[in-house]
Amino acid sequence: MILFVLKCTADHRFEAWFRNGDAYETQAAAKAIACPVCGDTHITKAPMAPRIAKGGRAKDDAARDGGTPEAAPTAGGAVAAPKASPTPETLPVPAELRERFAAEVMRQLTEIRRTVETNCDYVGDRFAEEARRIHYGETDPRGIYGEATDKEAEELKEEGVTFGRIPWLPRTNS
């Protein structure tokens, strides 16, 4: 398994696990990965530092001294750069915290779905058409939800129609 930091075109960053690099490439090409914030399926890898566990005396000495190990010559004689400072995307997150965060996100997405279904009209695959009619004043403004293709969503965005894409969780049997 491999963990990648990913980002969408709106620069929302999130982590995802894949069986290997090819699995990521296949899913990204098929637009099978969606941003958990906006639902965008145009996903790329975000820059990230590798997480390589290293042992050895230099690391132990640095940890004891509260610093980082000095740059050391590599086999070819070049000097390796010191390790970069961690960023929020590269800091390790305890599994328990990651699980609690994921559970909270799922809870909130379920609540969003319930609120949308209670307060908005379902228009199915006519979403783009209805959103345009509301935008151009051809019908009374109201909350709607439904399905739109990536192409329809891009066209709505270009026309200035305000809408949001929500990751739609399937209903559970609980």
| pLDDT tens digit sequence for 88-142 | 555 666 777 878 888 888 888 888 989 999 999 999 999 999 999 999 999 999 9
pLDDT at residue 47, as a whole number: 79
Would you say residue 141 lies in a domain?
yes
pLDDT at 87 over 50: yes
Domain span including residue 10? 2-45
What are the DSSP E strand ranges found in 19-154? 44-45, 121-124, 144-146
Distances (CA, A) of 119 to 83, 86, 114, 115: 51, 43, 9, 6
Q: Which residues pair with 6 in a beta bridge?
A: 14, 45
Would you say residue 123 lies in a domain?
yes
Would you say residue 139 lies in a domain?
yes
- CB of 7 closer than 8 Å to CB of 13: yes
Tokens of 67: 């610093």
Percent of the chain with pLDDT over 70: 72
Would you say residue 135 lies in a domain?
yes
Number of domains in the chain: 2
Would you say residue 50 lies in a domain?
no
Alpha-carbon distance of 106 to 167, in angstroms, equals 10
Would you say residue 84 lies in a domain?
no
Would you say residue 169 lies in a domain?
no
Domain boundary among 10, 29, 45: 45
| Radius of gyration (C-alpha) of the chain in whole angstroms | 23
- How many Cα neighbours within 13 Å face the side chain of 138? 7
Rounded to two decimals, the pTM is 0.45
- CB of 32 closer than 8 Å to CB of 16: no
